[in-house]
């Protein structure tokens, strides 16, 4: 019940409170596209289609992991799954630990019937491997979602600020390596908003993870979220002190891509529009993950989600048209993106 209550708090705080980074940004604003006044393209010929982990997608957008475990979370996940299926987007769900602890809430995650053909990603905190979780629990959440991959999220700062957080991260890399070897689906390593450095990406790739989601700083600050729901003054102070901690998303993308040119790479953390998506792709990401914009729209209605995705697609397409890029790979052509 404590985990369920925490999930409800997370939803409420993210929707109702200002818990975004205040000083640290995603870093994407430091880049701009070189405008092409004569693109030699028909806008209707621009192609946003891509593949990720062998699965086709209509555009390079991931509905990032957000929620589950409550009635509101079920409504949101169902709306997100329907929109993901309609536009052929990838989708991750929030941490399924709550469903392992309380099988009665498993239905709040079970959206495969609404999204039969898209990539769906299950989700557990990597630190739970030090708290009696293992292959069986990972298989359980993958089977529950009928998932195409398992996201292992890495969140040391969040656990430090969270009241009674799980902070034993010792020996996790070896346990992740064992899991990657034994799990029948790919493992995606993901931060929750503080970034993955090149050094840590190297270690995770060596351990066997198939893909990296850098989830850099600049979007929702989970230190601030946990500080908002903290039970004592010390934890609230920690949330304030570390509210802007992390590696900006743009720095994560370029650093990881430098040491791992071919690793499937997701950029998330502070992306708020289609122009951000296009910049992330141009910097080397394969997919761009967004959470808060989808959460806010899903909380309103399915219609609001349709409007959001249509706008995102129009923004990505416009960025491509005005850079003379017919395909996503063309965004990475020399001199298309410049650092300010």
pTM over 0.75: yes
Homologous superfamily of 2-339 in CATH? Aldolase class I (3.20.20.70)
Question: For the chain, what are the domain ranges?
Answer: 2-339
Residue 49 has a CB neighbour count (10 Å cut-off) of 12
Q: What is the mean pLDDT of each run of 10 residues along the chain (340 residues)?
A: 85 95 97 98 98 98 95 96 98 97 95 98 98 98 98 98 96 98 98 98 98 98 96 95 98 98 98 98 98 97 98 98 98 96
User: Within 27-152, where are the H helices?
Assistant: 71-87, 97-101, 135-145
Residue 239, C-beta contacts closer than 8 angstroms, at least 6 positions apart? 161, 223, 224, 225, 226, 227, 228, 230
């Amino acid at each position: 019940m404590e985990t369920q209550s925490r999930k409800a708090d997370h939803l409420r705080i993210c929707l109702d409170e200002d818990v975004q980074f205040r000083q640290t940004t995603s870093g994407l604003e430091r880049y701009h596209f070189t405008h092409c006044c004569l693109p030699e393209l028909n806008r209707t010929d621009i192609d946003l289609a891509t593949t990720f982990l062998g699965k086709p997608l209509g555009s390079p957008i991931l509905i990032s992991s957000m929620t589950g475990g409550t009635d509101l979370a079920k409504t949101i996940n169902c709306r997100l799954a329907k929109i993901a299926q309609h536009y052929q987007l990838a989708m991750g769900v929030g941490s399924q630990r709550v469903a392992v602890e309380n099988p009665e809430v498993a239905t709040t995650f079970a959206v495969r019937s609404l999204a039969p053909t898209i990539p769906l990603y299950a989700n557990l905190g990597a630190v739970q491997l030090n708290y009696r979780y293992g292959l069986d629990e990972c298989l359980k959440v993958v089977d529950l979602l009928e998932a195409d991959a398992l996201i292992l999220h890495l969140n040391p700062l969040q656990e430090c600020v969270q009241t009674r957080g799980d902070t034993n991260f010792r020996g996790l890399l070896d346990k992740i390596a064992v899991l990657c070897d034994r799990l029948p689906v790919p493992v995606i390593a993901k931060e929750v908003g503080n970034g993955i450095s090149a050094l840590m990406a190297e270690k995770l790739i060596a351990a066997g993870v198939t893909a990296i989601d850098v989830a850099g700083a600049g979007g929702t600050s989970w230190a601030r979220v946990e500080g908002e729901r903290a039970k004592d003054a010390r934890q609230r102070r920690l949330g304030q002190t570390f509210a802007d901690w992390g590696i900006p998303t743009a720095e994560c993308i370029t650093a990881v891509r430098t040491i791992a040119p071919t690793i499937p790479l997701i950029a998330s953390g502070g992306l708020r529009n289609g122009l951000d998506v296009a910049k992330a792709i141009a910097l080397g990401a394969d997919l761009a993950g967004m959470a808060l914009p989808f959460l806010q729209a899903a909380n309103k209605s399915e219609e609001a989600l349709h409007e959001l995705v249509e706008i995102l697609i129009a923004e990505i397409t416009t960025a491509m048209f005005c850079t003379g890029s017919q395909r996503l790979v063309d965004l990475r052509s020399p001199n298309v993106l410049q650092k300010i």
